[in-house]
Structure 1
């Protein structure tokens, strides 16, 4: 009873509180006093340092696009741009800040997380072929997650000016080829004027749905050499970008089906690109009093809204007479299943209607199979951006909705509100089991964290799959930035750097960024902790330290059990133990405040409070929590 009472108090629902004030200081450049003059070639009215090299022009192009950060591990094929950023971009306004990373994968992943909060790309640089090879997994994650990233790699084009054997080993005739299948667009501009055109085009393509990473391979000498004629080329102007909306007739037909349906269901995947997308989906759902299933790849719908029926997905799909899917990443799995013997069957009832609105239909490639299995029985497929289509769909639904249907629709909403409360209570009850266990249970870890942040302007910048989605089941979240989803391509090593990029975007808004990071994920690139300390990015890392690759352990258990060999050896190759890693000590070695390992659940709340005080001062902090599998 005592444990249940404690849980009931901890699990009390609370709404997010008012925004806190920002605590971080801007990065102070180390070199000052540059001579300035008016440069009429740029579209902005500002004072600029005298520009004498190609790298300076590239800085101005990036600044004209509103790019504020450039993350990179240094490499000699983009040293000309590197020098231009630190001695020109960081000393004149608007500031372009160089962020030092320990691995190219971290550079891209930081940009990935940043874009999901800020809604625009961050730049990152890579050293020719080998740097791009390092970055490739992070690029694939961004591609699968439909996230804009602006990437530059150096290119040693003139073979006669390569100095050493290593320059030949690192050179490539078409370096971008290795990632072309999972970038939206790439180019190798042959002049500064062409660089300006290509950069604007790369930004435009990255920011047109479906979003995606773009790459420019930039000649090393073009970065370093003086600008021909000492006059930089004009910088092309970036136009306002408008996302493609669905055709009017298809929207009208969709609205008619939704209005007339007895059991309409909305499935939302990467639908809410911005806070406006979240607001629009709420408006549509409330107009229809239709249940919403959220994939959790973004915060598409408030977690505690009565129409959030994510917990009832299978039952709702089986009863739906109209299913509307918004940006479905895996449309096959939404309404179908495959049995162990390979048989495929639909979960939907005969005669039901299925509609998809997806910008991915506008742009897809064939080699990597992230387009998923062909969905069953789609009646209407609109190749369009779902968020851009919602305003016209909402207007059409309201126009077609007769007064005679409003009472029945209101009653439908009342039923779903009751169902939502029942699901919430079931989750709260389930969370009490093992509440005082050691290692610490996932519900306890998540709720101890929420108890400390619920009155702050918080942002959970990590995914929740490996925590069995307990935050979605128990927390209250209704702001777009409070949750940004998973990694996209399921590439491990994403969380630590991507959450740091998201925290960087949250920093100027004064938000409290928190992350639940798997132990295995962190060990793919622990050097990101040094970047967090060096760049003074406030973020709370809570390490979900289950001392193993837990999903793989479960899969090995299933295989070994099927072969009747026992499961006593499945820890081999999956366990992260003997010796145990002290993540708090690791953090402290890199200048990050660290606590733990903590295995007593009663110690967790006070540790989180202490760490939050550090984060509020503008510094990163880490808590090592010895925890259960998931």
Structure 2
């Protein structure tokens, strides 16, 4: 409950910021206080019992934590940073929030209005929001304290309306200390009734149903939007009505379909033949992210009929040229599409053929899992497939899994099954950001305090943002960080060798800084120095024992795995 203020009360612009966030329902705010925003720091200090305050060591880690929190809760999250340098450090988080449609509001404190354009302390040449324009749904520079409630409330709504995404606001530092008196210029925050679940047009849905019903080899392409907008049940109902194979994005940020379901067959890379023989495809909120490699082939053959469905009008045709584009929220649209297929069902023999194609692909996945399971538990260095099966066996289907290992990521889809696809988080191929994993995992843990989070990290990924794990100890977050220590960016030379048929020698890898050159990096010692429990393991058996200790302790842990 926001405290009432008398007619003679004196308050500041900083009070308005905190008051607005509380009234909007923000449970946490992420902020690093700089010298030009001491008034805001004081306001948060005075109101710390009304809104959770998360500070950190640098703005990159802080903003990635904020993004993780927004991912898990699905609610807009405010991250407030300082001037040009703080904004620049937060830009990686803004670009990934744009790519993965995360509802984050970045607020930059800019120079005081009286020194604007004079290159004074922590100078800004023009507007700080110019940094982010191409990655933001909306940007705005606040110039008077009275508009703070309105602008922050609008930022909240814009960020959270599908297609969700980041908003960037700037506030001059002097506004934090401007004194106002009388009743606060509060807005009626409950007045806005937002309806953002429009169903795609009936005629288009009927045409899509007819195309899928008559197809000989249809596929369903389930994009991250399905998971992000929490429409998994509707996706499953449609898949079961059709019987077709379900394929995720190649590098999904969210999963929209249970990977344990008998119709789930994996990623495009694992289903090239199945995709090339498809005669019809329905892509739901699907990013056809290409890497731009020389000779890269399209995911679908030119002969396939393509239907796209998304709440984002840009996603319908920005990457491929569809035959039919359906604009609508996937929840009601998929529900209605399933109803149409149930009213006029797919022929029994056709559905049986579709399910047979699914079963054949599932057998390939099962064989790969069986091969990994058969590996000895004392093998060292620990194979990545065996590492993932050990984590799956110990943490199972109840933990939230953060995938942030480049080479580990090649195996997660097959080796780790999800009954609940919302237990999976990653940064997409479109976002492509190293260092994302550990801070995002901490934000996700904050957003799910009654759950457990395990972060699967490459050693290179952790090196980008290693200091962030201090926050896990600071906030007593029971995240388990599993670091696959293979001594470098092996995805780079291994990928190069695979593409060009070469065999890069160890000395050359060291010289190019693709490996650490045998440096005795002590991840466990570093983690312990920041207040975490930590152990180094070399085999699956040792990893299992460490995971049991981490589970029992309910404290932040780092387990360094000497792996492939």
The TM-score normalised by the length of structure 1 is 0.81
Find the aligned partners of 1:161 and 1:141 in 2 and give their Cα distance.
Answer: 30
Find the aligned partners of 2:473 and 2:293 in 1 and give their Cα distance.
Answer: 48
State the partner residue of 2:239. Answer: 285
Find the aligned partners of 1:602 and 1:169 in 2 and give their Cα distance.
Answer: 53
Of 108-117 and 426-435, deviating more is: 426-435
| C-alpha spacing 1:346/1:528, structure 2 compared with 1 (3 Å) | closer
RMSD of equivalent CA atoms? 3.0
* Superposed displacement of residue 119, structure 1: 1.0
User: Where do 5+ consecutive residues of structure 1 fail to align?
Assistant: 1-34, 42-49, 365-370
1:386 aligns with 2:327: no
1:139-185 Cα offsets, whole Å, 9 max, x none, are: 111111111101111122423499xx985343343011011111111
* Superposed displacement of residue 581, structure 1: 1.0
1:624 aligns with 2:564: no
1:457 aligns with 2:398: yes
* Superposed displacement of residue 66, structure 1: 1.9
* Superposed displacement of residue 236, structure 1: 4.1
* Superposed displacement of residue 317, structure 1: 1.4
* Superposed displacement of residue 565, structure 1: 8.4
State the partner residue of 2:28. Answer: 69
What SS does structure 1 have at the residue aligned with 2:407? helix
What SS does structure 2 have at the residue aligned with 1:305? coil
User: Where do 5+ consecutive residues of structure 2 fail to align?
Assistant: none
What SS does structure 2 have at the residue aligned with 1:574? coil
State the partner residue of 1:479. Answer: 420
Find the aligned partners of 1:75 and 1:212 in 2 and give their Cα distance.
Answer: 26
Find the aligned partners of 1:524 and 1:427 in 2 and give their Cα distance.
Answer: 31
1:44-103 Cα offsets, whole Å, 9 max, x none, are: xxxxxx772221221121122221111122212333222211212x12xxx311111111
* Superposed displacement of residue 239, structure 1: 3.1
State the partner residue of 1:199. Answer: 152
Find the aligned partners of 1:239 and 1:59 in 2 and give their Cα distance.
Answer: 23
Correspondent of 1:505 among 443, 447, 451? 447
Find the aligned partners of 2:109 and 2:218 in 1 and give their Cα distance.
Answer: 52
What SS does structure 1 have at the residue aligned with 2:219? strand
1:173-229 Cα offsets, whole Å, 9 max, x none, are: 3011011111111111222332222112211111122211111101222222222x3
The residue correspondences of 1:3-18 to structure 2 (distance < 5 A) are none
State the partner residue of 1:225. Answer: 178
* Superposed displacement of residue 343, structure 1: 8.0
| C-alpha spacing 1:190/1:346, structure 2 compared with 1 (3 Å) | closer
| C-alpha spacing 1:576/1:339, structure 2 compared with 1 (3 Å) | closer
The residue correspondences of 1:126-141 to structure 2 (distance < 5 A) are 126-141=81-96
1:246 aligns with 2:205: no
State the partner residue of 1:19. Answer: none
Correspondent of 2:526 among 562, 586, 591? 586
| C-alpha spacing 1:388/1:500, structure 2 compared with 1 (3 Å) | farther
Find the aligned partners of 1:388 and 1:132 in 2 and give their Cα distance.
Answer: 38
Of 296-305 and 532-541, deviating more is: 296-305
| C-alpha spacing 1:64/1:276, structure 2 compared with 1 (3 Å) | same
State the partner residue of 2:254. Answer: 298
State the partner residue of 1:603. Answer: 542
State the partner residue of 2:308. Answer: 356
* Superposed displacement of residue 136, structure 1: 1.0
- Answer yes or no: is the 8 Å Cα contact 2:129–2:170 preserved in 1: yes
State the partner residue of 1:545. Answer: 485
1:494 aligns with 2:407: no
- Answer yes or no: is the 8 Å Cα contact 1:200–1:236 preserved in 2: no
1:232-260 Cα offsets, whole Å, 9 max, x none, are: 10224243341444222212211111122
Find the aligned partners of 2:331 and 2:274 in 1 and give their Cα distance.
Answer: 23
1:174 aligns with 2:127: yes
1:310 aligns with 2:259: no
- Answer yes or no: is the 8 Å Cα contact 1:204–1:241 preserved in 2: no
| C-alpha spacing 1:125/1:281, structure 2 compared with 1 (3 Å) | same
- Answer yes or no: is the 8 Å Cα contact 2:285–2:315 preserved in 1: no
| C-alpha spacing 1:209/1:345, structure 2 compared with 1 (3 Å) | closer
- Answer yes or no: is the 8 Å Cα contact 2:457–2:484 preserved in 1: yes
Counting matched residue pairs gives 555
| C-alpha spacing 1:443/1:345, structure 2 compared with 1 (3 Å) | closer
| C-alpha spacing 1:587/1:278, structure 2 compared with 1 (3 Å) | same
State the partner residue of 1:322. Answer: 280
- Answer yes or no: is the 8 Å Cα contact 2:209–2:341 preserved in 1: yes
What SS does structure 1 have at the residue aligned with 2:14? helix
Correspondent of 2:4 among 18, 21, 38? 38
What SS does structure 1 have at the residue aligned with 2:168? strand
State the partner residue of 1:143. Answer: 98
* Superposed displacement of residue 392, structure 1: 2.4
Find the aligned partners of 2:345 and 2:562 in 1 and give their Cα distance.
Answer: 54
Of 518-527 and 466-475, deviating more is: 466-475
What SS does structure 2 have at the residue aligned with 1:52? strand
Find the aligned partners of 2:557 and 2:231 in 1 and give their Cα distance.
Answer: 32
* Superposed displacement of residue 433, structure 1: 5.0
| C-alpha spacing 1:556/1:253, structure 2 compared with 1 (3 Å) | closer
State the partner residue of 2:383. Answer: 441
- Answer yes or no: is the 8 Å Cα contact 1:209–1:244 preserved in 2: no
Find the aligned partners of 2:507 and 2:129 in 1 and give their Cα distance.
Answer: 46
State the partner residue of 1:5. Answer: none
- Answer yes or no: is the 8 Å Cα contact 1:358–1:385 preserved in 2: yes
